[in-house]
């Protein structure tokens, strides 16, 4: 048994301090240091996050160094899980000897997902072990039967103490082990109760080091709270190779698996699932899913193409503008709320769309997200369409960042975004005039330098001016130098495409 020493760990950033302090010297958080016991250096402590492969312990005999050029880059290929959306996020699958942390709010479907992963890998001949620390084995079996996942190759062990889990791992030596959950395991050598930061860290340290030693890909499941605190597991992020987050709204069947850290591939990749009667199924065509319930021809709706990970998706931005009773409020779902506030100000100031003094509701339909600036143009378009009661043309997507001066700015991956829009049958794209790929001509790109021009291109050419706003004949074009510049590439006014006069904002 190793000797223990007291240290003080920040519950926010995970940094350790030899002495207690009211404020964490690393992250500046107040009152976040908690005392815990840790193995003393050189006393047989497990080196957390040490060697990626092979024995992770300390005090081992020196191993000989290799020339980097002599190292086989394909030494240990990933093991595909067989679930396409999971493999997309993991860049091919789980690497032997790797450690993965899967976090998510309780009830999102983490246990379901991992059981399906194990069943799929077992049916392709992998040795799979499920450590059931929260549910009894017969409950797991019942769930597996319902999911069609009661594959003979999946072994299950009911255990809540670290020594038993380690013994099972060492006995089975599985290719893949899932611990459901790491917060339900307890190390008898650590005084605090299961789920405390000290316990979670001690258990994860032991399990990760053992799994690396025997070449098992280990997946630790951890519950997080609504505000993102991983109640212990957050401090594990530096211990593991991959951190995944499983997210979903309890009122929607849509679930998203995101990679927040991945040592063996790109991060930020997203896999999408639908939770149904028979568990989780991958969403093969998310754009079709997100646009499935869309009613074209309704004011206040615009389609854009955010990039999730490396995959462009079509989503519908919906906006509603209401009378303000007191201070104007903003209700935002699926978008960056701060950014929507900024766009409201830009619309008001530079495009002559009087939304600033009204209640504004903006959401992305179907539980999807569009948190990148490329969605700016669609947010502005949806708001302008709502307030003018002129629908956005059904076959038009809007892609572009909007700047503080009302300019429309270039965004990355435009060719991929336009290709996805084309695949879904969209024929026009409202886009920045800069940074367009040559192929965009095929789609009917409508480049705009300013927001005012963009709105006029999408919503028509002749809106009656608001009192004290743009002079007669200028559509959605404010008073800025940027707008004046934009006027040069404004489209000719089209008769019959007049926007309705805007009602005056309610007195606040």
Reported in sequence order, the residue ranges of 233-389 that DSSP labels E, i.e. its strands, are 242-248, 254-262, 270-276, 279-282, 301-304, 307-308, 311-312, 315-322, 330-333, 359-364
DSSP state of 278: T
Report how far apart, in Å, the C-alpha atoms of 453 and of each of 250, 302, 416, 431, 488 are.
Answer: 40, 16, 24, 11, 9
d(CA 298, CA 289): 19
From the list ligand TYD, Mg ion, none, partner contacted by residue 104 (C-beta under 5 to 8 A by kind): ligand TYD
Closest CB to Mg ion among 107 and 503? 107
DSSP class of residue 243 equals E
Pick from 483, 462, 473, 322: nearest CA to 402? 483
Would you say the C-alpha torsion 450, 454, 455, 461 has a positive or negative sign?
positive
Which residues lie closer than 8 Å to 264 by C-beta, 6 or more apart?
Answer: 78, 90, 91, 95, 98, 241, 242
Contact 82, 121 (CB under 8 A): yes
Q: How far is the CB of 119 from ligand TYD (least distance, A)?
A: 12
- From the CB of 134, what's the least distance to ligand TYD, in Å? 8
Could you tell me the smallest distance in angstroms from the CB atom of residue 108 to ligand TYD? 4
Give the residues lining the site for ligand TYD (CB under 6 A): 104, 106-112, 143, 146-147, 275, 277-279
Judged by beta carbon distances under 5 to 8 A according to partner kind, the member of Mg ion, ligand TYD, none in contact with residue 232 is none
**Hey, how many other C-beta atoms are within 10 angstroms of the C-beta on 106?**
12
- Select the binding partner of residue 109 from Mg ion, ligand TYD, none (C-beta < 5 to 8 A, by kind): ligand TYD
Smallest gap from Cβ 467 to Mg ion, in A, equals 59
When CB distances are held under 5 to 8 angstroms depending on the partner's kind, the choice from ligand TYD, Mg ion, none that residue 108 binds is: ligand TYD
Residue at shortest CB range from Mg ion: 111
- The item of Mg ion, ligand TYD, none sharing an interface with residue 323, based on CB under 5 to 8 Å by kind, is none
Q: Are 294 and 404 in contact (CB under 8 A)?
A: no
With respect to Mg ion, which residue has the nearer C-beta, 133 or 217?
133
SS3 213: helix
Cα-to-chain-centroid distance, residue 185: 28
Q: Which is closer to ligand TYD, CB of 89 or CB of 314?
A: 89
Sign of the four-CA dihedral 287, 288, 294, 296? positive
Kindly tell me which of 163 and 278 has the beta carbon lying closer to ligand TYD: 278
Q: Residue 294: how many CB atoms within 10 A of its CB?
A: 17
Residue 100 Cβ vs ligand TYD, minimum distance, rounded to whole Å: 15
Tell the smallest beta-carbon distance from residue 81 to ligand TYD (Å): 16
Q: At what angle do helices 451-459 and 376-388 cross, to 10 degrees?
A: 60
Q: Taking CB within 5 to 8 Å according to partner kind, which of Mg ion, ligand TYD, none is near residue 32?
A: none
CB of 111 to Mg ion, least distance (A): 3
Q: To the nearest whole angstrom, how small is the minimum distance from the Cβ of residue 351 to ligand TYD?
A: 44
Q: Order the strands of the 33-39 sheet from edge to edge.
A: 16-17, 4-10, 33-39
Which residues neighbour 410 within 8 Å (Cβ) at sequence distance 6 or greater? 400, 401, 432, 434, 435
Question: DSSP state, 412?
Answer: S
Q: Which does 234 bind (CB under 5 to 8 A by kind): Mg ion, ligand TYD, none?
A: none
Q: Choose among Mg ion, ligand TYD, none what residue 28 binds, the Cβ cut-off being 5 to 8 Å by kind.
A: none
Closest to ligand TYD by CB, 220 vs 448, is: 220
The Cα 179–Cα 183 span in angstroms is 9
Closest separation between CB of residue 105 and Mg ion, Å?
Answer: 11
What, of ligand TYD, Mg ion, none, does residue 143 touch, CB below 5 to 8 Å by kind? ligand TYD
Smallest gap from residue 218 Cβ to ligand TYD (A): 17
Residue closer to ligand TYD, measured from CB, 274 or 389: 274
Q: Closest separation between CB of residue 140 and ligand TYD, Å? A: 10
Q: Which 3 state secondary structure label does DSSP give 25? A: coil
Nearer to ligand TYD, 107 or 473 (CB): 107
- The residue (of 108 and 216) whose beta carbon lies closer to ligand TYD is 108
Enumerate binding residues for Mg ion (CB under 5 A): 111
Between 111 and 205, name the residue whose CB sits nearer to ligand TYD: 111
Distance CA 423, CA 273 (A): 21
The binder of 275, among Mg ion, ligand TYD, none, by C-beta within 5 to 8 A per type, is ligand TYD
Q: Beta-carbon neighbour count of residue 41 at 10 Å?
A: 9
Beta carbon nearer to ligand TYD, 146 or 310: 146
How far CA 13 is from CA of 16, 26, 28, 77, in Å, comes to: 9, 8, 9, 33
């Amino acid at each position: 048994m190793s000797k223990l020493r007291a240290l003080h760990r920040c519950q926010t950033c995970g940094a350790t301090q030899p002495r207690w302090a009211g404020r964490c010297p690393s992250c500046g958080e107040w009152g976040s240091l908690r005392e815990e016991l840790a193995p003393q250096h050189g006393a047989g402590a497990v080196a957390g996050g040490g060697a990626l492969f092979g024995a992770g312990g300390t005090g081992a005999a020196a191993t000989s160094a290799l020339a980097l050029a002599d190292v086989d880059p394909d030494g240990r290929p990933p093991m595909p899980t067989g679930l396409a959306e999971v493999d997309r996020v993991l860049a091919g699958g789980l690497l032997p000897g790797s450690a993965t942390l899967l976090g998510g709010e309780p009830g999102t479907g983490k246990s379901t997902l991992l059981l399906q992963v194990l069943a799929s890998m077992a049916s392709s001949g992998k040795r799979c072990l499920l450590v059931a620390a929260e549910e009894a084995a017969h409950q797991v079996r019942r769930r597996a039967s319902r999911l069609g996942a009661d594959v003979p190759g999946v072994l299950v062990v009911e255990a809540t103490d670290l020594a038993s889990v380690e013994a099972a791992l060492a006995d089975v030596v599985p290719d893949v082990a899932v611990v459901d959950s790491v917060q339900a395991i307890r190390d008898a050598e650590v005084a605090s109760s299961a789920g405390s930061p000290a316990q979670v860290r001690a258990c994860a340290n032991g399990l990760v080091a053992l799994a690396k030693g025997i070449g098992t890909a280990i997946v630790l499941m951890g519950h997080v709270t609504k505000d993102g605190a991983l109640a212990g597991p957050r401090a594990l992020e530096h211990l593991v190779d991959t951190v995944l987050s499983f997210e979903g709204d309890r009122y929607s069947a849509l679930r998203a698996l995101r990679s927040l850290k991945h040592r063996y591939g790109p991060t930020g990749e997203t896999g999408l699932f639908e939770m149904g009667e028979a568990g989780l199924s991958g969403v093969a065509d998310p754009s079709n899913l997100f646009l499935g319930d869309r009613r074209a021809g309704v004011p206040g709706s615009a389609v854009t193409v955010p990039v999730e990970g490396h995959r462009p998706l079509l989503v519908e931005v919906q906006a509603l503008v209401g009378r303000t009773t007191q201070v104007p409020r903003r209700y935002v779902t699926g978008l960056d709320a701060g950014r929507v506030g900024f766009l409201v100000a830009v619309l008001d100031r530079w495009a002559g769309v009087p939304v600033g003094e009204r209640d504004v509701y903006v959401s992305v339909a179907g539980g999807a997200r569009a948190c990148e600036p490329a969605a700016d143009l669609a947010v502005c378009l949806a708001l302008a369409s709502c307030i003018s009661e002129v629908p956005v043309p059904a076959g038009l997507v809007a892609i572009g960042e909007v700047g503080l001066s009302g300019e429309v700015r270039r965004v990355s991956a435009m060719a991929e975004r336009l290709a996805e829009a084309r695949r879904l049958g969209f024929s026009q794209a409202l886009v920045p005039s800069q940074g367009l790929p040559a192929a965009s001509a095929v789609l009917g790109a409508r480049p705009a330098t300013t927001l005012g021009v963009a709105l006029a291109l999408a919503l028509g050419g002749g809106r009656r001016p608001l009192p004290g706003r743009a002079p007669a004949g200028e559509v959605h074009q404010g008073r800025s130098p940027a707008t004046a510049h934009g006027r040069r590439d404004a489209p000719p006014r089209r008769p019959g495409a007049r926007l309705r006069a805007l009602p005056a904002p309610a007195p606040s």
